[in-house]
């Protein structure tokens, strides 16, 4: 494991935040200013492939990375974009899977809401 990959891995796993590649790049450069953007993307890809972190594709926004590697749903604020992890109740998908010809190899569940912070600050209409 190179120093670069180690640093990137630590940043993703240090906090429950779901950061974008760009945010990770900025944080990493505080400690290693020579780090290249391409290196961040490549290593995030490698870490995802290795199953050490997860990539979370966002609607009309850059992807985010999640330190939690077990599959689980996400709760996303439609206004500010904040992402929270949820726990998947046992066998919730079973009824759906039952009707299929083959096995499910993975799933992705996103629930959208307006987070308490954004709900409080009602005023404008800016997304």
The residues binding a copy of itself (CB under 8 A) are 57, 59-60, 73, 75, 78, 86, 88-89, 92-93, 95-97, 99-116, 119
Shortest Å distance, C-beta 95 to DNA: 31
Q: What is the C-alpha to C-alpha distance for residues 68 and 47, in angstroms, rounded to an integer?
A: 12
- 3-state secondary structure at position 75: strand
Contact 56, 20 (CB under 8 A): no
Q: Does 110 bind DNA (CB under 7 A)?
A: no
Show the tokens assigned to 119. Answer: 């709900």
Q: Does 22 bind DNA (CB under 7 A)?
A: yes
39 binds, among DNA, a copy of itself, none (CB under 5 to 8 A by kind): DNA
Shortest Å distance, C-beta 111 to a copy of itself: 5
51 binds, among a copy of itself, DNA, none (CB under 5 to 8 A by kind): none
Closest by CA to 67, choosing from 80, 51, 78, is 51
- 3-state secondary structure at position 21: helix
Q: What is the C-alpha to C-alpha distance for residues 22 and 79, in angstroms, rounded to an integer?
A: 20
38 binds, among DNA, a copy of itself, none (CB under 5 to 8 A by kind): DNA
- 3-state secondary structure at position 94: helix
Interaction site with DNA (CB under 7 A): 1-5, 20-22, 32, 34-39, 41-43, 45, 60, 62-63
């Amino acid at each position: 494991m190179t120093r670069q990959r180690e640093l990137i891995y630590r940043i993703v796993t240090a906090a429950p935040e779901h950061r974008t590649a760009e945010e990770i790049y900025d944080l990493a450069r505080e400690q290693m200013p020579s780090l290249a953007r391409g290196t961040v993307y490549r290593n995030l890809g490698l870490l995802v492939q290795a199953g050490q972190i997860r990539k979370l594709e966002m609607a009309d926004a850059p992807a985010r990375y999640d330190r939690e590697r077990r599959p689980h749903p996400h709760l996303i604020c439609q206004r500010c974009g904040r992402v929270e992890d949820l726990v998947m109740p046992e066998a919730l998908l079973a009824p759906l899977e039952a009707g299929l010809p083959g096995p499910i190899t993975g799933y992705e569940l996103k629930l959208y809401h307006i987070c308490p912070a954004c709900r409080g600050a009602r005023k404008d209409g800016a997304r």
